[in-house]
Chains A and B, each alone.
Chain A
Amino acid sequence: MYALTLIPAGTKIDFIGQRWVTYLVSGVITVASLALLFINGLAFGVDFTGGTVVELRFAQAPDLPALRAALPAGAQVQAFGGPEDLLIRLPAGQGVEALRAVVDGASPGAEWRRTEVVGPQVGGELIRKGAYAVVFTLLGILAYIWVRFEWQFGLATLAATAHDVVAMLGLFALTGWEFSLASVAAILLVAGYSVNDTVVVFDRIREEMRRYRKMPLPELSNIAVNQTLSRTIMTSLTTILALAALWAFGGPVIAGFVNALLFGVAVGTYSSVFVAAPVLLLLLPARAQEQ
């Protein structure tokens, strides 16, 4: 019936035995991400800082140095897609009107493909909303898992998910990718995805705990992780395949969003295997070993 087996039956990778290694790796990822956040900070996009972004398509590739010189101070010019396409950013307080004269002078007939102007006040509100959204999602997930499982499972899920959120923020700090509303959406989605993955593993741990009432928890967790491994990998692969299609053909407007999601799905898969179960083991009381 099954044409292909990704993970051979009876695979026993000792995830839990290696957990000190993964504690270290996850710890380094988390600390490095926080340090990067602290040192580099996030390159907040116009959604949050306020300001103007304009996407232009010129009739032919524009004379960049001349254009740069003509633009008001603080303007940033960035290639976007083809050689005729440019993205121009202006700091808050400068309207599109100033830009219009310059662009029309440099290259009349340029097409204004996209304009975004965000007032500084709205930007502040969007930051607050974005932060609330992430925090509420994490708390909601904690509460849900707590109700459906035990508090240890809820905390371990929260730890794994928070790990992913921090790692994604770290990626944004490291690469200097623009952090926009779409980035917040990507983070929330990865949080949802990561929890999804973690819940599958935890569900199996719970099931095996009922089945083997005496088995030591590390051994039991290992069995559960190995049993769900093919599903974990299969789902990540199909999701990454779909994302790869978006990455290749989705166009520059959502490229940043897709990049963040690709990284996030990878981290989310890692954390459900290497963070969630080991943290759960730290929290659960050890089973009494009866002979």
Chain B
Amino acid sequence: MVTTPRWHVISVLLIALWGLAYATPNVLPALRGLPGPLPHKTVNLGLDLRGGAYLLYEVDIDALVAERAQMAATDVQKALREAGLSGASAKATPGGVEVDAGKAGRGGAVTRAVRGLGLGLEWASETKGSEKIFYRFSKSAVTEMTDTAMARSIEIVRRRVDEVGTTEPSIQRQGERRILLQVPGTSADDLKRVVGQTAKLGFHLVEDGGSVRALRLPMADDPEMTIPVARRAMVTGDMLVGARGVVDPQTQEPVVSFRLNGSGAKRFCQVTRANVGTPFAIVLDGTVVSAPVIRSAICAGSGQIEGGFTLQEAADLALLLRAGALPAPMQVVEERSVGPSLGADSVRAGAVAGALGLALVLFFMAVVYGAFGLMACAALLVNIALIFAILSALQATLTLPGIAGIVLTIGMAVDANVLVFERIREERRAGRSWLSAVDEGYRQSVSTITDANLTTLLAAIILFSFGTGPIKGFAVTLGIGIVTSVFTALGATRLMVVAWARARRGEPKKGGHRRPQNPLPGP
């Protein structure tokens, strides 16, 4: 005999009510101001629905390691000299340092000197007689460099994006070397202008054209032309404490005006005083923006960068300098952006398709299963409310494929009900009373429903772990939809069907005298 425990009834009703209540802020904007635990959250629309940019950057860790190797080579050179290993020299390789020991048999002493630096360099290989010894950064050293650089990059990207003034940017590390940036309401182009640039600034003295130690760097406005500059910058971007894009009152040209911190100002003052009359190069990311001549010592701790900028370029560069340089260059490896109008079109299309799909399924269920069908329809409405309530509560992102997932769930959600109803129909044909047929119908169907839905849930979970962006959104709604469908079929519909069958307890079993009120089409 069917018994429905009271706690069962109460919990099903509570969950259904929760779903209905917490889904309403999505259709009633008035509720969105409600505080605390009251229903006020709405579904988080994905970038494909609200418009926005999705940028996946890859940080060039190899370049960073090469740069560290360059610095390490200088330190190793110094350490070798201090250890009294005259004639030994060090130079950088892409992943470490190569030492020319000068004389054979010094391998041990060289390695001791390199180890003593604590730079994370480890012995990799050497030539016969240890004349040339190769060191490379250890795995843990590279990992540490990577982690530090990634954390710093994310920090810098966040500062830059915040400076642009966009709302709710999402910036995450993805995998080992990637940063995923998702910003609603902007175009990818606007973001790329301020995010991707390394913005490494340096003021270098210009060297004599014949100097071998000089670095030849291209001019920004004419890459064919190169300028020999000193390897070491006298002032670097991290000494800047402020930068603004302004129009120079004298020349009427947009420039970036900047202020230096104490040590930067002091250094700039010393170097300019010693080099009056010679030009210095303002180098940004390996190109020379401009190379003005030092007319007099600059000791005020401020200055300006001219470079034939537009006002926008000057403002962007100032922003980059304020936010700081990225520790390593980054490249866009994936970019997706959706304009606001397409997003709005997609929301509209999804809503229309969803409403129509729902109407068709409701109609069809009611036609095929009559009163039971209407119960399933009520449960389906609860089901959809639950999906939206859960999406809102989890603040999960709803994407266009996610809407497709919901529409599809509408179609598939009735499956559990269909299974049970068909089973009840069979049991009635076998001559059971309504109550016993209902009882048997649910009893026989539970394991089938569980098996069938767990396998689909498995597909949803795998999709979630492998998918990206919009596809993840599809997996989320599909997964939530499966769980709520099973709940509504085995919880909500069941309560209604059992109550209905109980009300007919007094009716004679089928096969007794047939009454017109019993509309079952006989076999």
Contact = CB atoms under 8 A, between A and B. Distances in A.
Interface in A126-141: 126, 129-130, 132-133, 136-137, 140-141
B433 to A, nearest CB: 12
Q: Count chain B CB atoms within 10 A of each CB in A116, A182, A246 and give the residue with the most.
A: A246
B410 to A, nearest CB: 5
Interface in B468-484: 468, 470-471, 474-475, 478
A240 interface: yes
Nearest to B521: A5
A248 B359 CA distance: 14
A103 B336 CA distance: 19
A213 interface: no
A251 B467 contact: no
Contacts of A238: 361, 364-365, 411-412, 414-415, 418
A185 B471 contact: yes
Contact of B451 (A148, A182, A228): A148
Interface in B90-128: none
Contacts of B337: 112, 114-116
Contact of A196 (B361, B411, B453, B471): B453
B462 A140 contact: yes
Q: How large is the interface on B (under 10, 10 to 19, 20 to 34, 35 or more residues)?
A: 35 or more
B467 A239 contact: no
Q: Which of B336, B454, B455, B518 has the most CB of A within 10 A?
A: B455
A189 B333 CA distance: 28
B350 to A, nearest CB: 7
Interface string A175-188: 00000011011001
Contact of B371 (A1, A57, A115, A130): A1
B226 interface: no
Interface in A1-35: 1-6, 8-10
Nearest to B459: A192
Contacts of A2: 368-370, 372, 421, 425, 519-521
Contact of A181 (B371, B404, B468, B523): B468
A116 B336 contact: yes
B339 A111 contact: yes
Contacts of A243: 357, 407-408, 411
Interface string A101-134: 0000000000111111111011000100110110
Contact of A241 (B48, B361, B468, B474): B361
B456 interface: yes
Contact of B467 (A117, A148, A185, A234): A185
B447 interface: yes
A191 B411 contact: no
B339 A241 contact: no
Interface stretch (B165-173, B251-259, B340-348): B340-348
Taking chain A's interface residues, is the majority helix, strand, or loop, or is none over half, making it mixed? helix
Contacts of B474: 185
Interface string B433-476: 01000000000100110011111111110110111101100110
B291 to A, nearest CB: 28
Interface stretch (A37-45, A63-71, A252-260, A278-286): A252-260
B59 interface: no
A228 B414 CA distance: 15
B368 A245 contact: no
Contacts of B339: 111-114
Contacts of B468: 126, 181
B407 A235 contact: no
A144 B332 contact: no
A16 B370 CA distance: 33
Given A8-B523, A251-B350, 10 more contacts: A2-B421, A9-B425, A121-B333, A133-B467, A137-B458, A137-B459, A181-B467, A196-B415, A245-B353, A251-B346
10 contacts: A189-B478, A195-B459, A199-B455, A231-B415, A241-B361, A246-B408, A249-B352, A253-B48, A253-B400, A261-B408
Interface of A: 1-6, 8-10, 55, 57, 96, 111-119, 121-122, 126, 129-130, 132-133, 136-137, 140-141, 144-145, 148, 181-182, 184-185, 188-189, 191-193, 195-197, 199-200, 203-204, 207, 227-228, 230-231, 234-235, 237-246, 248-251, 253-254, 257-258, 261
